């Protein structure tokens, strides 16, 4: 592996060597402003996040809940552009030396140009992309350019994913696999937790060795500890965004996300 995909893999391996899950945080670029998002991402790293996903705001984020949709709307009304996303990645990585990913739907990349997007992301120090709506069977062009620039290609799987699809994704993906489920929406937390654990086990059973990180609607340290019991990484997004939305001012929001990262960092170490 080359480029910052190696940094991502090393970070996940380091967490595993410590006997814990990695903490992966999500915040959208441009929310509440471009500079404000950079401040918040630095604060989340300061609080204990191992990896940060920078969201590329989209006008139709079909897989995101209302909290992230609200933040995306604020960012888009503020005029955020892909150049701002790249700047956010660059400044967050440069300030911390930690892995920074972009999470984006496929359409903005397709319109921007795959070669241009991957080259600029690599130049900014990005570790790769999470692509929730890119089918693995249509990913050859993206993966060709991502591999050329040393970027991870992270696919999203769900409890409905068939074993054949899981095997194909773990064969060609890199960095980690994003295992998605919904806590408190598709059933009780206990049943969804079991579903997520089963998905992690099925993904690992493909035998390709990619870490499996779970985004499960985790919002506190106890839930992080629960997911850390079976996943290589715990992904938290809406809880961070909600702290920013609920804060009376930007400084309070930055303080709130730093504190939440600290609480969740204890959770992934199961110190709760």
Q: Which residues are part of the catalytic machinery?
A: 53, 64
Say how far apart CA 256 and CA 243 lie, in whole Å: 6
222 near 196, Cβ under 8 Å?
Answer: no
Q: Among 133, 140, 138, which Cα is nearest to 103's?
A: 133
Say how far apart CA 233 and CA 25 lie, in whole Å: 10
Say how far apart CA 41 and CA 44 lie, in whole Å: 5
**What does DSSP assign to residue 137?**
G
Q: Are strands 233-236 and 100-103 parallel, antiparallel or unpaired?
A: unpaired
- Beta bridge partners, 154, equal 130
89 near 121, Cβ under 8 Å?
Answer: yes
Say how far apart CA 98 and CA 85 lie, in whole Å: 16
The edge-to-edge listing of strands for the beta sheet with 177-180 is 152-154, 128-130, 100-103, 51-55, 22-28, 233-236, 212-215, 177-180, 156-157
Cis? peptide before 192, omega within 30° of 0:
no
31 — phi, psi (to 5°)? Answer: -120, 120
């Amino acid at each position: 592996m080359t480029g910052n995909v190696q940094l991502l893999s090393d970070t996940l391996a380091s967490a595993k060597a410590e006997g814990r899950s990695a903490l992966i945080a999500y915040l959208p670029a441009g929310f509440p402003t471009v500079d404000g998002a950079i401040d918040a991402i630095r604060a989340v790293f300061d609080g204990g996040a191992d990896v940060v996903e920078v969201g590329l705001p989209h006008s139709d984020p079909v897989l995101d809940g209302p909290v992230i949709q609200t933040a995306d709307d604020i960012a888009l009304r503020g005029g955020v552009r892909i150049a701002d996303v790249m700047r956010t990645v660059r400044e967050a990585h440069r300030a911390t030396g930690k892995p920074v990913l972009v999470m984006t739907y496929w359409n903005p990349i397709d319109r921007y140009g795959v070669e241009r997007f991957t080259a600029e992301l690599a130049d900014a120090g990005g570790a790769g992309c999470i692509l929730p709506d890119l089918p693995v069977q249509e990913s050859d062009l993206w993966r060709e350019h991502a591999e050329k620039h040393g970027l991870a290609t992270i696919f999203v799987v769900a409890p409905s994913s068939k074993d054949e699809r899981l095997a194909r994704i773990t064969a060609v993906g890199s960095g980690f696999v994003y295992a998605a489920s919904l806590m408190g929406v598709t059933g009780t937390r206990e049943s969804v937790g079991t579903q997520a654990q089963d998905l992690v086990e099925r993904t690992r059973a493909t035998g390709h060795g990619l870490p499996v990180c779970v985004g499960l609607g985790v919002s506190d340290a106890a839930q992080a500890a629960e997911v850390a019991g079976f996943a290589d990484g715990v992904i938290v997004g809406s809880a961070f965004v909600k702290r920013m939305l609920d804060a009376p001012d930007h400084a309070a929001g930055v303080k709130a996300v730093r504190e939440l990262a600290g609480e969740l960092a204890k959770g992934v170490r199961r110190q709760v």
